[in-house]
Amino acid sequence: MEALTISALESVTGGKYYGDPDIKSREVTAITSDSRTVTEGCLFAAIKGERADGFDYIPQAIDKGALCALSDREAPGYNCIVAADVQAALRAIAGFYRKQFHIPFVGIVGSVGKTTSKEMTAAVLSQKFNTLKTEGNFNNELGVPLTLFRLRPEHEAAVIEMGISDFGEMTRLAEMVRPNVCLMTVIGQCHLENLGDLQGVLKAKSEVFDLMSPDSAAVLNGDDETLKGYTPPVANIIRYGKSDGCEVRGENIVCKGFEGTEFDIVTKDARFPVTVHAYGEHIVTAALGAAAVGLSLGLSPEEITRGLESYAQTGGRSNVIDTGYITIIDDCYNANPNSVANALRSLSCLPGRKVAILGDMLELGAEEKELHRNIGLLSAKLGIDSLICCGRLAEYIYKGHIASGSPLEGWHFPMKDAFFSVLPSLIKEGDRVLVKASHGEHFEEIVEELKKLR
Protein backbone atom coordinates (compact mmCIF):
# COMPACT_ATOMS: atom_id res chain seq x y z
CA MET A 1 0.00 0.00 0.00
CA GLU A 2 1.97 2.89 -1.40
CA ALA A 3 3.04 5.62 1.03
CA LEU A 4 1.44 3.97 4.06
CA THR A 5 4.60 3.65 6.10
CA ILE A 6 4.40 3.31 9.85
CA SER A 7 5.84 6.82 10.09
CA ALA A 8 3.16 8.21 7.74
CA LEU A 9 0.41 6.41 9.66
CA GLU A 10 1.66 7.87 12.90
CA SER A 11 1.47 11.35 11.38
CA VAL A 12 -1.91 10.90 9.65
CA THR A 13 -3.61 9.53 12.77
CA GLY A 14 -2.06 12.02 15.15
CA GLY A 15 -1.04 9.04 17.25
CA LYS A 16 2.23 7.96 18.82
CA TYR A 17 4.27 4.94 17.77
CA TYR A 18 5.71 2.52 20.31
CA GLY A 19 7.98 -0.32 19.26
CA ASP A 20 10.90 -1.20 17.00
CA PRO A 21 12.17 2.06 15.42
CA ASP A 22 13.66 0.16 12.48
CA ILE A 23 10.22 -0.59 10.98
CA LYS A 24 8.98 3.01 10.86
CA SER A 25 10.05 3.35 7.23
CA ARG A 26 8.30 0.14 6.16
CA GLU A 27 4.94 0.19 4.36
CA VAL A 28 2.03 -1.87 5.59
CA THR A 29 0.72 -4.34 3.00
CA ALA A 30 -2.96 -4.19 4.07
CA ILE A 31 -5.21 -3.03 6.89
CA THR A 32 -7.69 -5.20 8.75
CA SER A 33 -9.75 -5.11 11.93
CA ASP A 34 -10.31 -8.88 11.98
CA SER A 35 -7.55 -11.00 13.49
CA ARG A 36 -8.73 -13.93 11.35
CA THR A 37 -7.80 -12.07 8.16
CA VAL A 38 -4.35 -10.88 9.23
CA THR A 39 -1.75 -11.17 6.46
CA GLU A 40 2.01 -10.76 6.49
CA GLY A 41 3.00 -7.10 6.91
CA CYS A 42 -0.49 -5.71 7.55
CA LEU A 43 -1.73 -3.17 10.09
CA PHE A 44 -4.15 -4.64 12.64
CA ALA A 45 -6.73 -2.14 13.89
CA ALA A 46 -7.72 -3.15 17.40
CA ILE A 47 -11.33 -1.98 17.61
CA LYS A 48 -13.44 -2.45 20.72
CA GLY A 49 -16.77 -4.02 19.76
CA GLU A 50 -19.88 -5.00 21.67
CA ARG A 51 -18.70 -8.56 22.24
CA ALA A 52 -14.92 -8.41 21.94
CA ASP A 53 -12.06 -5.95 22.36
CA GLY A 54 -9.57 -6.04 19.49
CA PHE A 55 -6.84 -5.04 21.94
CA ASP A 56 -6.94 -8.59 23.32
CA TYR A 57 -6.07 -9.95 19.86
CA ILE A 58 -2.96 -7.84 19.26
CA PRO A 59 -0.51 -10.61 20.30
CA GLN A 60 -2.27 -13.09 18.03
CA ALA A 61 -2.27 -10.63 15.11
CA ILE A 62 1.43 -9.79 15.48
CA ASP A 63 2.30 -13.48 15.81
CA LYS A 64 0.43 -14.15 12.53
CA GLY A 65 2.54 -11.57 10.72
CA ALA A 66 1.00 -8.14 11.31
CA LEU A 67 3.68 -5.46 11.11
CA CYS A 68 2.01 -3.19 13.64
CA ALA A 69 -1.22 -2.65 15.58
CA LEU A 70 -3.40 0.45 15.85
CA SER A 71 -4.84 0.74 19.33
CA ASP A 72 -6.20 3.16 21.89
CA ARG A 73 -3.55 2.09 24.42
CA GLU A 74 -0.05 0.66 24.54
CA ALA A 75 0.54 -3.04 24.05
CA PRO A 76 3.93 -3.55 25.76
CA GLY A 77 6.26 -5.72 23.72
CA TYR A 78 4.37 -5.18 20.44
CA ASN A 79 4.72 -2.59 17.68
CA CYS A 80 1.76 -0.28 18.10
CA ILE A 81 0.44 3.14 17.04
CA VAL A 82 -1.64 4.54 19.89
CA ALA A 83 -4.49 6.90 18.97
CA ALA A 84 -7.28 8.17 21.17
CA ASP A 85 -10.02 6.90 18.83
CA VAL A 86 -9.14 3.90 16.65
CA GLN A 87 -12.12 4.25 14.31
CA ALA A 88 -11.42 7.98 13.80
CA ALA A 89 -7.80 7.08 13.10
CA LEU A 90 -8.91 4.50 10.51
CA ARG A 91 -11.08 7.12 8.81
CA ALA A 92 -8.14 9.52 8.69
CA ILE A 93 -5.93 6.85 7.11
CA ALA A 94 -8.65 5.95 4.61
CA GLY A 95 -9.09 9.57 3.53
CA PHE A 96 -5.33 9.96 3.14
CA TYR A 97 -5.07 6.73 1.14
CA ARG A 98 -8.02 7.53 -1.14
CA LYS A 99 -6.40 10.81 -2.20
CA GLN A 100 -3.59 8.85 -3.86
CA PHE A 101 -6.05 7.53 -6.47
CA HIS A 102 -7.06 9.83 -9.32
CA ILE A 103 -9.85 7.66 -10.66
CA PRO A 104 -13.67 7.93 -10.73
CA PHE A 105 -15.20 7.27 -7.32
CA VAL A 106 -18.95 6.58 -7.40
CA GLY A 107 -20.79 6.93 -4.09
CA ILE A 108 -24.08 5.00 -3.77
CA VAL A 109 -26.48 6.53 -1.25
CA GLY A 110 -30.20 6.32 -0.49
CA SER A 111 -32.78 4.57 1.68
CA VAL A 112 -33.65 1.67 -0.61
CA GLY A 113 -31.84 -0.21 -3.35
CA LYS A 114 -28.26 0.79 -2.56
CA THR A 115 -26.81 -2.70 -2.83
CA THR A 116 -28.65 -3.55 -6.06
CA SER A 117 -27.58 -0.21 -7.54
CA LYS A 118 -24.01 -0.76 -6.38
CA GLU A 119 -23.83 -4.21 -7.93
CA MET A 120 -25.37 -3.02 -11.22
CA THR A 121 -23.15 0.05 -11.40
CA ALA A 122 -20.05 -2.03 -10.77
CA ALA A 123 -21.17 -4.54 -13.42
CA VAL A 124 -21.55 -1.69 -15.92
CA LEU A 125 -18.28 0.09 -15.12
CA SER A 126 -16.38 -3.21 -15.19
CA GLN A 127 -16.98 -3.32 -18.93
CA LYS A 128 -14.50 -0.45 -19.30
CA PHE A 129 -12.61 -0.11 -16.02
CA ASN A 130 -10.92 -2.39 -13.51
CA THR A 131 -13.48 -1.62 -10.80
CA LEU A 132 -13.36 -1.99 -7.03
CA LYS A 133 -16.73 -2.31 -5.30
CA THR A 134 -18.03 -2.57 -1.75
CA GLU A 135 -18.37 -6.19 -0.71
CA GLY A 136 -21.14 -7.46 1.57
CA ASN A 137 -22.45 -4.91 4.06
CA PHE A 138 -19.19 -2.94 4.38
CA ASN A 139 -21.01 0.37 3.90
CA ASN A 140 -20.67 2.04 7.31
CA GLU A 141 -17.99 3.97 9.19
CA LEU A 142 -15.92 0.82 9.70
CA GLY A 143 -16.73 -0.93 6.43
CA VAL A 144 -16.02 2.02 4.13
CA PRO A 145 -12.39 2.51 5.24
CA LEU A 146 -11.78 -1.23 4.99
CA THR A 147 -13.19 -1.11 1.47
CA LEU A 148 -10.96 1.80 0.50
CA PHE A 149 -7.92 -0.05 1.84
CA ARG A 150 -8.55 -2.71 -0.83
CA LEU A 151 -7.68 -0.17 -3.55
CA ARG A 152 -4.61 -1.11 -5.56
CA PRO A 153 -2.71 0.68 -8.37
CA GLU A 154 -4.45 -1.42 -11.02
CA HIS A 155 -7.92 -0.13 -10.10
CA GLU A 156 -9.43 2.34 -12.57
CA ALA A 157 -12.76 3.05 -10.83
CA ALA A 158 -14.41 2.46 -7.46
CA VAL A 159 -18.07 2.01 -6.51
CA ILE A 160 -18.57 2.62 -2.80
CA GLU A 161 -21.87 2.02 -0.98
CA MET A 162 -22.46 4.52 1.83
CA GLY A 163 -25.06 3.66 4.49
CA ILE A 164 -26.12 5.87 7.39
CA SER A 165 -28.72 6.06 10.15
CA ASP A 166 -28.13 9.51 11.69
CA PHE A 167 -27.05 13.05 10.93
CA GLY A 168 -23.30 13.59 10.53
CA GLU A 169 -22.52 10.02 9.46
CA MET A 170 -22.64 10.81 5.75
CA THR A 171 -20.22 13.68 6.28
CA ARG A 172 -17.73 11.32 7.90
CA LEU A 173 -18.14 8.78 5.09
CA ALA A 174 -17.85 11.42 2.37
CA GLU A 175 -14.70 12.85 3.94
CA MET A 176 -13.11 9.49 3.16
CA VAL A 177 -14.70 8.65 -0.20
CA ARG A 178 -14.86 12.12 -1.83
CA PRO A 179 -16.99 10.78 -4.71
CA ASN A 180 -16.82 12.32 -8.17
CA VAL A 181 -20.27 10.85 -8.92
CA CYS A 182 -23.06 10.32 -6.41
CA LEU A 183 -25.97 8.02 -7.27
CA MET A 184 -28.95 8.68 -4.97
CA THR A 185 -31.59 5.94 -5.11
CA VAL A 186 -34.65 6.73 -2.96
CA ILE A 187 -35.45 8.98 -0.03
CA GLY A 188 -37.56 6.58 2.01
CA GLN A 189 -39.03 5.91 5.42
CA CYS A 190 -36.12 4.42 7.31
CA HIS A 191 -34.16 5.37 10.44
CA LEU A 192 -36.99 7.79 11.25
CA GLU A 193 -36.22 7.43 14.96
CA ASN A 194 -33.12 9.55 14.30
CA LEU A 195 -33.99 11.44 11.10
CA GLY A 196 -37.61 12.38 11.85
CA ASP A 197 -39.24 12.56 8.42
CA LEU A 198 -38.45 12.40 4.70
CA GLN A 199 -36.93 15.87 4.69
CA GLY A 200 -34.67 14.78 7.53
CA VAL A 201 -33.67 11.70 5.55
CA LEU A 202 -32.84 13.89 2.54
CA LYS A 203 -30.86 16.31 4.69
CA ALA A 204 -28.78 13.48 6.16
CA LYS A 205 -28.15 11.75 2.82
CA SER A 206 -27.33 14.97 0.97
CA GLU A 207 -24.46 15.79 3.33
CA VAL A 208 -22.42 13.92 0.73
CA PHE A 209 -22.60 16.85 -1.68
CA ASP A 210 -20.81 19.14 0.78
CA LEU A 211 -17.70 17.02 0.27
CA MET A 212 -17.89 16.83 -3.54
CA SER A 213 -16.23 19.27 -5.90
CA PRO A 214 -18.53 21.68 -7.81
CA ASP A 215 -17.80 19.94 -11.13
CA SER A 216 -18.95 16.54 -9.82
CA ALA A 217 -22.05 14.67 -11.00
CA ALA A 218 -25.26 13.77 -9.17
CA VAL A 219 -27.34 10.90 -10.54
CA LEU A 220 -30.79 11.20 -8.97
CA ASN A 221 -33.90 9.02 -9.07
CA GLY A 222 -36.33 11.18 -11.03
CA ASP A 223 -39.31 9.07 -9.95
CA ASP A 224 -38.77 9.77 -6.24
CA GLU A 225 -41.17 12.45 -5.01
CA THR A 226 -38.71 13.96 -2.52
CA LEU A 227 -35.82 14.05 -4.98
CA LYS A 228 -37.94 15.62 -7.71
CA GLY A 229 -37.81 18.93 -5.87
CA TYR A 230 -34.15 18.72 -4.90
CA THR A 231 -31.21 20.27 -6.77
CA PRO A 232 -27.78 19.44 -5.31
CA PRO A 233 -24.91 21.96 -5.49
CA VAL A 234 -22.98 20.25 -8.30
CA ALA A 235 -22.57 21.14 -11.97
CA ASN A 236 -23.83 17.93 -13.56
CA ILE A 237 -27.25 16.54 -12.62
CA ILE A 238 -28.70 13.48 -14.35
CA ARG A 239 -32.16 12.23 -13.43
CA TYR A 240 -33.09 8.65 -14.21
CA GLY A 241 -36.36 6.75 -14.03
CA LYS A 242 -39.61 6.07 -15.84
CA SER A 243 -40.97 9.63 -15.60
CA ASP A 244 -41.08 12.20 -18.37
CA GLY A 245 -38.18 14.60 -18.04
CA CYS A 246 -35.65 11.99 -16.92
CA GLU A 247 -32.49 12.22 -19.00
CA VAL A 248 -32.09 8.44 -18.75
CA ARG A 249 -35.51 6.86 -19.08
CA GLY A 250 -36.98 3.35 -19.20
CA GLU A 251 -39.67 2.57 -21.77
CA ASN A 252 -41.46 -0.51 -23.20
CA ILE A 253 -41.00 -2.41 -19.94
CA VAL A 254 -41.92 -6.09 -20.08
CA CYS A 255 -41.66 -7.99 -16.79
CA LYS A 256 -41.20 -11.74 -17.20
CA GLY A 257 -41.22 -12.73 -13.53
CA PHE A 258 -38.29 -14.87 -12.54
CA GLU A 259 -36.95 -14.79 -16.10
CA GLY A 260 -36.10 -11.11 -15.80
CA THR A 261 -37.20 -7.85 -17.38
CA GLU A 262 -36.87 -6.39 -20.85
CA PHE A 263 -36.98 -2.65 -21.52
CA ASP A 264 -35.53 0.14 -23.62
CA ILE A 265 -33.10 2.70 -22.23
CA VAL A 266 -33.78 6.08 -23.78
CA THR A 267 -31.42 9.07 -23.66
CA LYS A 268 -31.10 12.30 -25.60
CA ASP A 269 -28.81 10.61 -28.09
CA ALA A 270 -29.80 6.94 -28.13
CA ARG A 271 -32.36 4.21 -27.55
CA PHE A 272 -31.17 0.67 -26.86
CA PRO A 273 -32.87 -2.53 -25.61
CA VAL A 274 -31.70 -4.28 -22.46
CA THR A 275 -32.60 -7.54 -20.70
CA VAL A 276 -31.78 -7.79 -17.00
CA HIS A 277 -31.82 -11.37 -15.78
CA ALA A 278 -33.17 -10.62 -12.31
CA TYR A 279 -36.49 -10.56 -10.48
CA GLY A 280 -38.27 -7.57 -8.97
CA GLU A 281 -40.06 -4.32 -9.71
CA HIS A 282 -37.03 -2.34 -8.54
CA ILE A 283 -34.72 -3.87 -11.14
CA VAL A 284 -35.54 -1.43 -13.95
CA THR A 285 -34.96 1.63 -11.77
CA ALA A 286 -31.64 0.32 -10.49
CA ALA A 287 -30.54 -0.52 -14.04
CA LEU A 288 -31.39 2.98 -15.23
CA GLY A 289 -29.31 4.49 -12.42
CA ALA A 290 -26.35 2.29 -13.32
CA ALA A 291 -26.76 3.23 -16.97
CA ALA A 292 -26.80 6.93 -16.06
CA VAL A 293 -23.55 6.55 -14.11
CA GLY A 294 -22.01 4.69 -17.05
CA LEU A 295 -23.03 7.38 -19.51
CA SER A 296 -21.63 10.10 -17.23
CA LEU A 297 -18.27 8.30 -17.30
CA GLY A 298 -18.17 7.83 -21.06
CA LEU A 299 -19.35 4.25 -21.50
CA SER A 300 -21.07 3.31 -24.75
CA PRO A 301 -24.59 1.83 -24.98
CA GLU A 302 -22.98 -1.48 -25.94
CA GLU A 303 -20.81 -1.51 -22.80
CA ILE A 304 -23.77 -0.55 -20.62
CA THR A 305 -25.92 -3.31 -22.14
CA ARG A 306 -23.22 -5.95 -21.55
CA GLY A 307 -22.81 -4.81 -17.96
CA LEU A 308 -26.51 -4.90 -17.12
CA GLU A 309 -26.97 -8.27 -18.75
CA SER A 310 -24.10 -9.68 -16.66
CA TYR A 311 -25.72 -8.60 -13.37
CA ALA A 312 -26.56 -11.31 -10.83
CA GLN A 313 -28.60 -10.79 -7.67
CA THR A 314 -26.92 -11.27 -4.29
CA GLY A 315 -28.12 -13.47 -1.43
CA GLY A 316 -30.85 -12.10 0.84
CA ARG A 317 -31.98 -9.52 -1.74
CA SER A 318 -34.79 -10.84 -3.95
CA ASN A 319 -32.79 -14.04 -4.29
CA VAL A 320 -35.00 -16.65 -5.98
CA ILE A 321 -34.73 -20.21 -4.67
CA ASP A 322 -36.58 -23.04 -6.41
CA THR A 323 -36.75 -25.92 -3.94
CA GLY A 324 -38.67 -28.20 -6.28
CA TYR A 325 -41.68 -27.88 -3.97
CA ILE A 326 -42.07 -24.09 -3.68
CA THR A 327 -40.32 -20.98 -4.96
CA ILE A 328 -38.81 -18.76 -2.24
CA ILE A 329 -38.09 -15.07 -2.79
CA ASP A 330 -35.43 -14.57 -0.13
CA ASP A 331 -35.51 -10.81 0.52
CA CYS A 332 -34.83 -10.95 4.24
CA TYR A 333 -31.62 -8.91 4.35
CA ASN A 334 -33.47 -5.76 5.42
CA ALA A 335 -36.82 -4.00 5.24
CA ASN A 336 -38.50 -0.61 5.40
CA PRO A 337 -41.91 0.51 4.10
CA ASN A 338 -40.58 1.39 0.64
CA SER A 339 -38.71 -1.87 0.08
CA VAL A 340 -41.54 -4.03 1.45
CA ALA A 341 -44.06 -2.27 -0.81
CA ASN A 342 -41.79 -2.88 -3.82
CA ALA A 343 -41.39 -6.53 -2.85
CA LEU A 344 -45.16 -7.01 -2.56
CA ARG A 345 -45.78 -5.39 -5.94
CA SER A 346 -43.20 -7.67 -7.53
CA LEU A 347 -44.78 -10.71 -5.87
CA SER A 348 -48.25 -9.72 -7.05
CA CYS A 349 -47.12 -9.90 -10.69
CA LEU A 350 -46.16 -13.57 -10.46
CA PRO A 351 -48.43 -16.42 -11.58
CA GLY A 352 -49.70 -18.96 -9.06
CA ARG A 353 -50.53 -18.74 -5.37
CA LYS A 354 -48.66 -15.92 -3.67
CA VAL A 355 -47.62 -15.94 0.00
CA ALA A 356 -45.93 -13.07 1.88
CA ILE A 357 -44.16 -13.81 5.17
CA LEU A 358 -43.46 -10.40 6.68
CA GLY A 359 -41.84 -9.30 9.94
CA ASP A 360 -41.06 -6.17 11.89
CA MET A 361 -39.60 -3.12 10.16
CA LEU A 362 -37.35 -1.45 12.72
CA GLU A 363 -36.26 2.14 13.50
CA LEU A 364 -39.40 3.80 12.12
CA GLY A 365 -40.06 6.12 15.04
CA ALA A 366 -43.42 7.44 16.21
CA GLU A 367 -45.30 6.33 13.09
CA GLU A 368 -44.14 2.71 13.20
CA LYS A 369 -47.58 1.22 13.89
CA GLU A 370 -49.28 3.13 11.08
CA LEU A 371 -46.47 2.34 8.63
CA HIS A 372 -46.85 -1.37 9.41
CA ARG A 373 -50.64 -1.15 9.11
CA ASN A 374 -50.30 0.42 5.65
CA ILE A 375 -48.32 -2.62 4.48
CA GLY A 376 -51.23 -4.86 5.47
CA LEU A 377 -53.62 -2.66 3.52
CA LEU A 378 -51.35 -2.77 0.48
CA SER A 379 -51.03 -6.55 0.63
CA ALA A 380 -54.79 -6.89 0.55
CA LYS A 381 -55.12 -4.39 -2.28
CA LEU A 382 -52.56 -6.30 -4.36
CA GLY A 383 -54.41 -9.57 -3.84
CA ILE A 384 -51.63 -11.48 -2.04
CA ASP A 385 -53.28 -14.86 -1.41
CA SER A 386 -51.84 -15.46 2.05
CA LEU A 387 -50.27 -12.90 4.39
CA ILE A 388 -48.28 -14.34 7.30
CA CYS A 389 -47.08 -11.77 9.85
CA CYS A 390 -44.49 -12.68 12.47
CA GLY A 391 -43.27 -10.35 15.22
CA ARG A 392 -44.40 -7.67 17.64
CA LEU A 393 -44.81 -4.84 15.13
CA ALA A 394 -45.93 -7.25 12.43
CA GLU A 395 -49.21 -7.52 14.34
CA TYR A 396 -50.08 -4.13 12.84
CA ILE A 397 -49.46 -5.46 9.33
CA TYR A 398 -52.02 -8.13 10.17
CA LYS A 399 -54.41 -5.51 11.57
CA GLY A 400 -54.14 -3.56 8.32
CA HIS A 401 -55.05 -6.72 6.42
CA ILE A 402 -58.09 -7.27 8.65
CA ALA A 403 -59.15 -3.62 8.37
CA SER A 404 -59.13 -3.93 4.58
CA GLY A 405 -61.99 -6.42 4.73
CA SER A 406 -60.04 -8.76 2.45
CA PRO A 407 -61.37 -12.34 2.27
CA LEU A 408 -57.82 -13.59 1.61
CA GLU A 409 -55.85 -15.47 4.25
CA GLY A 410 -54.15 -13.55 7.04
CA TRP A 411 -52.18 -14.84 10.03
CA HIS A 412 -50.19 -13.36 12.91
CA PHE A 413 -47.62 -15.09 15.09
CA PRO A 414 -45.86 -13.17 17.88
CA MET A 415 -42.80 -15.47 17.72
CA LYS A 416 -41.09 -17.50 15.01
CA ASP A 417 -41.29 -20.69 17.11
CA ALA A 418 -45.09 -20.59 17.08
CA PHE A 419 -45.04 -20.05 13.32
CA PHE A 420 -42.62 -22.92 12.71
CA SER A 421 -44.95 -25.36 14.46
CA VAL A 422 -47.69 -24.79 11.87
CA LEU A 423 -45.64 -23.66 8.88
CA PRO A 424 -46.09 -26.86 6.81
CA SER A 425 -49.87 -26.49 6.96
CA LEU A 426 -49.77 -22.88 5.69
CA ILE A 427 -47.60 -23.46 2.61
CA LYS A 428 -48.81 -25.39 -0.41
CA GLU A 429 -46.87 -27.04 -3.21
CA GLY A 430 -46.17 -24.57 -6.02
CA ASP A 431 -46.47 -21.46 -3.80
CA ARG A 432 -44.43 -18.33 -4.51
CA VAL A 433 -43.25 -17.29 -1.04
CA LEU A 434 -41.77 -13.87 -0.22
CA VAL A 435 -39.78 -13.60 3.04
CA LYS A 436 -38.98 -10.09 4.24
CA ALA A 437 -38.22 -8.28 7.51
CA SER A 438 -35.56 -6.09 9.07
CA HIS A 439 -32.21 -7.85 9.36
CA GLY A 440 -32.42 -7.91 13.17
CA GLU A 441 -35.43 -10.22 12.96
CA HIS A 442 -33.27 -13.00 11.47
CA PHE A 443 -35.83 -14.18 8.94
CA GLU A 444 -33.09 -16.20 7.24
CA GLU A 445 -34.18 -18.83 9.79
CA ILE A 446 -37.58 -18.89 8.09
CA VAL A 447 -35.94 -19.31 4.69
CA GLU A 448 -34.09 -22.35 6.01
CA GLU A 449 -37.33 -23.86 7.36
CA LEU A 450 -39.05 -23.27 4.03
CA LYS A 451 -36.26 -25.10 2.22
CA LYS A 452 -37.08 -28.24 4.24
CA LEU A 453 -40.70 -28.45 3.02
CA ARG A 454 -41.54 -31.37 0.74
Mean of the per-residue pLDDT values of the chain: 94
pLDDT tens for residues 162-179?
999 999 999 999 999 999
Q: What string of DSSP letters covers 295-317?
A: HHTT--HHHHHHHHHT--PPTTS
pLDDT at 314: 63
Of 77-86, 170-179, 273-282, minimum mean pLDDT range = 273-282
Same domain, 403 and 358: yes
pLDDT in tens, 366-379: 999 999 999 999 99
Does 174 share its domain with 211? yes
Picking from 50-54, 245-249, 305-309, 401-405, which range would have the lowest pLDDT averaged per residue? 50-54
Average pLDDT for 348-363 = 95
Q: What separation in angstroms does the CA of 96 have from each of 8, 91, 101, 176?
A: 10, 9, 10, 8
Do 294 and 327 share a domain, yes or no? Answer: no
Task: Please give the tally of structural domains in the chain.
Answer: 3
Convert the pLDDT of each residue in 32-66 to its tens digit: 999 999 999 999 999 998 888 999 999 999 999 99
Is the same domain home to 231 and 260? yes
Burial of residue 62 (CB within 10 Å: 0-12, 13-18, 19+) is buried
- The angle at the Cα of 236, spanning 234 to 238, to the nearest 5 degrees, equals 120
Torsion-angle region of 443 (φ positive above 0: left; ψ -120 to 50: alpha; else: beta):
alpha
Give the H or E element holding residue 218: strand 217-221
Residue 361 has pLDDT above 90, yes or no: yes
Q: What is the CA radius of gyration of the chain?
A: 24
What pLDDT band is residue 298 in, cutting at 50, 70 and 90? Answer: very high
Residue 268 lies in a domain: yes
Q: Based on the fold, state whether residues 323 and 305 are members of the same structural domain.
A: no
**The last residue of a domain, from among 290, 309, 328:** 309
pLDDT, tens digit (0-9, with 9 covering 90-100), for 391-438: 999 999 999 999 999 999 999 999 999 999 999 999 999 999 999 999
One domain, residues 70 and 126: no
- Return the HEC string of 424-443: HHHCCCCCEEEEECCHHHCC
This prediction has a pTM of 0.88
359 and 252 co-located in one domain: no
Query: How many residues in total does the chain contain?
Result: 454
What does the pLDDT average to over 172-192? Answer: 95
Give residue 1's pLDDT.
65
For residue 219, what is the domain's CATH number? 3.40.1190.10
Residue 276 has pLDDT above 70, yes or no: yes
Residue 378: count of CB within 10 angstroms of its CB = 20
Domain that holds residue 23: 6-84
**Is the pLDDT score of 315 beyond 70?**
no
Cα 72 from Cα 87, distance rounded (Å):
10
The conformation of residue 61, written as its DSSP 8-state character, comes to H
